[in-house]
Homo-oligomer: A and B are copies of this chain.
Amino acid sequence: MSHVIDALVEALGSRVRVGSDIPSRNHADASGLKPTAPQALILPQSTDDAATALRICHEHRQPVVTQGGLTGLAGGAHPQAGEVALSLERMSGIEEIDAASATLTALAGTPLAVIQQAADEAGFLCGIDLGARGTCTIGGNVATNAGGNQVLRYGMTRRNVLGLEVVLADGTVVRSLNKMLKNNAGYDWTQLFIGSEGTLGVVTRAVIGLHPKPQGLQTALCAVGSFEDALVVLRRFQQAHPGRLLVFEAMWREFMTVATEICGLAPAFEDEHDVTLLIEADMGADPAGTEAFSLLLGEFYEQGLIKDAVVAQSRADRNRFWAYRETPYEYGRFLPEEIRFDVSVPLNRMTEAVAHLRREMPKQWPDAVYVVFGHVADSNIHINVAVRDMDDAIKKGVQGLVYDLVSRLGGSISAEHGIGRIKRPYLSLSRTEPELALMRQMKQTLDPAGILNPGRIL
């Protein structure tokens, strides 16, 4: 046992686990990388515990990987050999809901779903929502600047964070549990830590701004002939009903084919269309709003902008519409090994991106199954590619094709899942050398010994 582990055990007692006392769940995140046992697992019960742990690790130059809900796909929370894991799982709970300020203060290890439910019970909505809500934690959401389904309306996690408490690499605690929308007293240092994937500090508490609860949710599936038409639908909807659109998801033809022919869902429409949209809006408590939603879709149909549409009349309809969008979670049952991409492409280059994939994919890998879908209003698309007998060469080839394309079109190699370990080799495709130098400077300043999540991002 090394000196640093001894020091940690002496300071934190049973809040430090070693060897077979470390649960296997802490050996891996959702990235698919090979599970690796950390040297020790630290389970702080307070900010002081976390500060003590980091102070000791800093003194011993001991690398630390921070863990939240372990749902990340980029390997940010996945242990590497020799690292100590710091899991925030015991720092869980909502400390305050301030109805007057419309804010919620929670410990970093609180699962997102717990926060969503508490906000709901207090008559508010939490603007952060993603598929992993039951498992992911608010600390992880902050660390990765998580996106999700409602970014169009409520923004990324960054926009929902009003205040933070962070433990720096050397154990210093910095706290600004600000509840105010406006606070320009000096640098907003909290911005540094949002989206830094645990490489600059460990988030221990967050103040989240809450939103009014939607009162008149309307959901529709719409078929359009092209992505350009989808964009016109998006802009005209926003013009007609400003602030009401919550969800605007696009699923390209190949996606719907996999949903029906491979995953077994019933076709959404009689004919095949190039893009199917899942649209959700909060039309307000007034029944006139509900009506206006269907009326506007009717107008789009008459104008030839949308080719077909169905509006949900019940919760069952809504679930049925969302089932298409959620088929990727089922791919594991139907498809050979797949690679999942999370990228951004400027909206005016999106059609070019899809056309390139349609041209190159079948040429290079004739049996490849590929789908394109995503939160297009945010420029964010997901591309899943499954190839039979996928080996490292094929994997590299597919990654090269996608990342080169994204880079050439001025997109980003990470829209919402971060860089972690997995995308690190590709970061220079989305960032220039002066940008990377600036990032390295920030890292060097805040974590001079390089103990926090080393090898992630930079």
Contact = CB atoms under 8 A, between A and B. Distances in A.
A20 interface: no
A187 B378 contact: no
B182 A415 contact: yes
Interface string A387-421: 00000000000000000000000111111111100
A286 interface: yes
Interface in A225-266: 231, 235, 238-244
Instruction: Tell which of A184, A432, A458 has the most Cβ of chain B within 10 Å.
Output: A184
Interface string A176-203: 1011111111111101101110001000
A27 to B, nearest CB: 25
Interface in A129-171: 144-145, 147, 151-153, 155-156, 158-159, 168
Given A188-B194, A242-B243, 20 more contacts: A101-B347, A153-B243, A156-B184, A174-B432, A179-B410, A182-B375, A183-B412, A184-B412, A184-B415, A185-B419, A186-B435, A186-B458, A187-B195, A187-B439, A188-B191, A215-B239, A239-B285, A240-B286, A242-B282, A441-B446
Contacts of A98: 346, 348
Nearest to A432: B175
Interface of A: 98-102, 123, 144-145, 147, 151-153, 155-156, 158-159, 168, 172-176, 178-189, 191-192, 194-196, 200, 211-215, 231, 235, 238-244, 282, 284-286, 288, 292, 344-348, 375, 377-380, 410-419, 423, 427, 430-432, 434-439, 441-442, 444-446, 457-458
Contacts of A286: 240, 288, 292
A-B pairs, top 6 by smallest CB distance, nearest first, are: A243-B243, A191-B191, A100-B348, A180-B379, A212-B238, A185-B430
Contacts of A213: 239
Contacts of A378: 180-182
A148 to B, nearest CB: 10
B181 A156 contact: yes
Contact of A144 (B174, B184, B194, B419): B184
Contacts of A415: 180, 182-184
A172 B446 CA distance: 21
A189 B200 CA distance: 13
Nearest to A410: B179
22 contacts: A101-B379, A123-B239, A145-B188, A156-B181, A172-B434, A176-B435, A180-B378, A180-B379, A180-B415, A182-B380, A184-B415, A185-B431, A186-B419, A186-B431, A187-B457, A189-B439, A192-B442, A215-B242, A242-B243, A243-B243, A286-B288, A288-B292
A437 B244 CA distance: 42
A384 B186 CA distance: 22
A163 to B, nearest CB: 11
